[in-house]
Amino acid sequence: MGIVRRSALLGFIIIALLASLHPGRTETYPSRPITFVVPFAPGGFVDVIARLIGQKVSEELGQPVIVENRPGVGGNIAHRRVAQGEPDGYTVLAASTSLAINETLYPQRGYSADDFLALSISATTPEIIAAPASGAKSLQDFIDQSKSSGAQFGTAGAGSASFIVAQYFFTKLAKIPATHIPFQGGAPAINAAMGAQIPLVAAAMAGGVVQPIRDGRLRGLAVASEKRNPLVPEVPTYIESGYSGFTADAWAGFFAPAKTAHEIAQKLNTAINHALSDREVQARLEPLGFTIMQQDLKTANQRFRSDIESWRTRVDAIGFKIQ
């Protein structure tokens, strides 16, 4: 009988040990490095935010956060990589507004917005247009000059938020022809405007236009926010210029595959929000033109879905698609 009892006890111990080795039952998230996948090259505003937030998330969760840059096809390469990844919380997309825009802009993407769960819409920045210091003195001045020849403007590229906003404004609201001049990134477009090589640049405010406007190398003509921005208080809004209700902003946010467990998503949301409340992070982002957003999961996903529809309206209105 003693032998039987000892055998049974040994059996229970073996079963318990095997159960403890089962990763699905005992692994506490996170137990290994987390990867933030960035759809753009290093140095852009999404990359900057991913690295800032990643450092703070790493400190809070006790695991390294690796930033992986996967640029190409308007962000779709990185979007697809995360959409098709394991929903285990170890692969997170650090996205821009392009994730919402591409739902309409690219009919064939290899993924859908339904493949994502928004963890945070972390920071927003308004769209803005600026002219060379020697160029148009106001938005109306630029429109008046462009009525016969059409508006010419440069952006970081076709399909960018800045392109869609400017194209929509000129063709649908100002009702003048528009010619887009694409550049390989926001910095070259801004440099071209400062050198008076193009008459107008459209960009996200955090994309590098704040300092050139402040030091007089560019003249801000309109910012697409409800109120003037305190960083460039001399720049009027589109609303002040007579275009009621016209606002648009770009954002950076974090997304996980849609089937990620709620407990994991909640832990990431909490860590990201704590990072956004950090004074060091705020001191880096706010002077660039970002408004920091701390949201729960429900609010972040509502914002994402709402933005898909608002960008759909503008993309459809200008009739622009990328096959």
Structural domains in the chain, CATH included, are 30-125+250-318 (3.40.190.150), 126-223 (3.40.190.10)
pLDDT for 307: 97
Q: Are 128 and 204 in contact (CB under 8 A)?
A: yes
Cα–Cα distance, 203 to 189 (Å, whole number): 9
pLDDT of 127 above 90: yes
pLDDT of 315 above 70: yes
- Which distant-in-sequence residues (6+ apart) come within 8 Å of 290 by Cβ? 45, 49, 123, 124, 125, 206, 252
Least Cα distance to 40 among 107, 99, 91 occurs for 99
- pLDDT tens digits, one per residue of 133-175: 999 999 999 999 999 889 999 999 999 999 999 999 999 999 9
pLDDT of 25 above 90: no
Task: Please tell me which residue, 64 or 184, carries the higher pLDDT value.
Answer: 64
Least Cα distance to 224 among 209, 202, 208, 207 occurs for 202
pTM strictly above 0.85: yes
Structure tokens, 190: 């801004």
pLDDT of 294 above 90: yes
Peptide bond into 188 cis (omega under 30): no
What does the pLDDT average to over 291-318?
Answer: 97
pLDDT of 190 above 70: yes
Q: Are 276 and 53 in contact (CB under 8 A)?
A: yes
pLDDT of 23 above 80: no
What does the pLDDT average to over 235-256?
Answer: 97
pLDDT for 39: 95
pLDDT for 17: 45
What does the pLDDT average to over 61-90?
Answer: 96
